[in-house]
Amino acid sequence: MVLGEVRAWLARPDNDFSWSSFLDADAALVEIDGLTAVVRAEGRVPFSLSVLFAPTGPIQEVALSSGWGEEFLTLAARFDDASGAGG
């Protein structure tokens, strides 16, 4: 599942959260976990989850600052496909 994979990337100890809206890794994980719970319980993708995956969104900011920008692009494309946001 894409959300589990992005959670693993966000949990990496060497991530830089300074350019994202996340305070730190713990805050990012709490937010991802809460949104993942909504997806599982309700079967819908909350708008705020789409915002996290958006270009220049918080996850991409962490990814670019932390050296996994290419991996993020792959995850974001998979998220878009799974959520129907890919067009």
The predicted pLDDT at position 43 comes to 92
**Over the chain (87 residues), what is each successive 10-residue block's mean pLDDT?**
96 97 97 96 94 96 98 96 75
- Lookup: tokens for 76: 């974001």
In the chain, the N- to C-terminal Cα span, in Å, equals 20
**CB proximity list for 24: less than 8 A, separation 6 or greater:** 17
Q: Rounded to two decimals, what is the model's pTM? A: 0.91
Domain region containing 29: 2-13+22-83
Length of the chain in residues, anyone? 87
Structural domains counted in the chain = 1
Please tell me what DSSP assigns to residue 44: S
The predicted pLDDT at position 86 comes to 58
